[in-house]
Amino acid sequence: MTSPLILRGLSKSYGGTRVVDGLDLELQAGRCHGLLGPNGAGKTTTLRLALGLIGADAGTVDLLGYPMPAQAALARRKVGVVPQIDSLDPDFTVRENLLTYGRYFGMKGREIEARIPYLLEFSGLAGKADAPINNLSGGMKRRLTLARALVNDPDLIFLDEPTTGLDPQARHLIWQGLRRLIGQGKTLLLTTHFMDEAERLCDVISVLDQGRVIVRGSPRELIQQHIEPHVVEIYGDGLTEWKACASNFCKRCETAGETLFCYTEAPDKVVEELESQPGLRYLHRPANLEDVFLKLTGRDLRD
């Protein structure tokens, strides 16, 4: 199957700084792709380039067979976009928002009306068709933004941090919707800061830093290839003293705030040592995508 989005050697600079730097990306149809990276890594700029909202300094973008940005208007009719910040019209009801948005795509009123019951059911907003936007909770607004992105029944959907700012219940509802879309064979390109979200939903993840893809693979591959399999998180009284000799039990340790992270192939040795330290508390768990992300991009704050 042809790829719905192909980026080749894509570069973009702002004020002399390359924020996207020779990026290559090819999405597989019917899969969920994650674009992860610290703040400023170039994720949103990549999405904007892919959608033809801005032009690249170098490289090419092929979106659904259309070169970007030359044929952006044609290509964008066939994709769905969930932007980082909701842009629903507060003066309109739920139904009116869907109608207005559908008209941007050249859809007829009747056509959109016919799709509204499905969109409301999909987003868990059945019964809310006539509710004003301001009466919706944050989670409902986010779900409506997702429903709105589906008004034209796109096969490719861009999602820029779809669950940022939502409570766990609302996030689970969005995940359910996204899994349903993946099950229907849609292609998703998702940026997120939630590693558990990426781990649950994505078939393939590209980790970006300074505008480049630094690693790519399935969540499982990334965990197997880039991190020790076990992590022991340690905190409490006496940590400083224990840390001084931690290298005897654990090859690689990192400190974040008041917690020491021991990454190891042999957690039993670490745990055995900790048993004789009554002041210390610990959590032994399998390594996850967040551990990989922090190892590859560092623990320093990026603002």
- 215, 221, 287, 218: which is closest to 252 by C-alpha? 287
CB of 211 to ligand ADP, least distance (A): 7
Residue 44 engages ligand ADP in binding (rule: CB under 6 A): yes
The answer to whether 42 contacts ligand ADP (rule: CB under 6 A) is: yes
| Piece in contact with ligand ADP (CB under 6 A), picked from 42-50, 62-70, 111-119, 170-178 | 42-50
Beta partners for residue 132, in sequence order: 93
Does residue 19 interact with ligand ADP by CB under 6 A? yes
Tell me the one-letter amino acid at 93.
T
Taking the least distance from each CB to ligand ADP, the nearer of 12 and 142 is 12
Question: Which residues are paired to 70 by β-bridges?
Answer: none
Q: Which of 9, 26, 39, 137 binds ligand ADP (CB under 6 A)?
A: 39
Dist. CA 60–CA 11, nearest whole Å: 9
Among 3, 6, 30, 40, binds ligand ADP (CB under 6 A): 40
Q: Tell me the torsion sign for CA atoms 193, 199, 204, 210.
A: positive
**Binding-residue pattern over the window 45 to 84 for ligand ADP, x denoting contact by CB under 6 A:** x---------------------------------------
Q: How far is the CB of 83 from ligand ADP (least distance, A)?
A: 12
Using the rule CB under 6 A, which residue among 43, 76, 115, 148 binds ligand ADP?
43
Q: Does 198 bind ligand ADP (CB under 6 A)?
A: no
Nearer CB in complex with ligand ADP: 152/297? 297
189 binds ligand ADP (CB under 6 A): no
Instruction: Measure the CA–CA gap between 53 and 68, rounded to whole angstroms.
Output: 9
Minimal distance, residue 190 CB to ligand ADP, in Å: 13
* Contact (CB, 8 A) for 262 and 231: yes
Number of residues that bind ligand ADP (CB under 6 A): 10
Return the number of the residue (87 or 224) whose C-beta is nearest ligand ADP. 87
- Chain residues binding ligand ADP by CB under 6 A are 14, 19, 37, 39-45
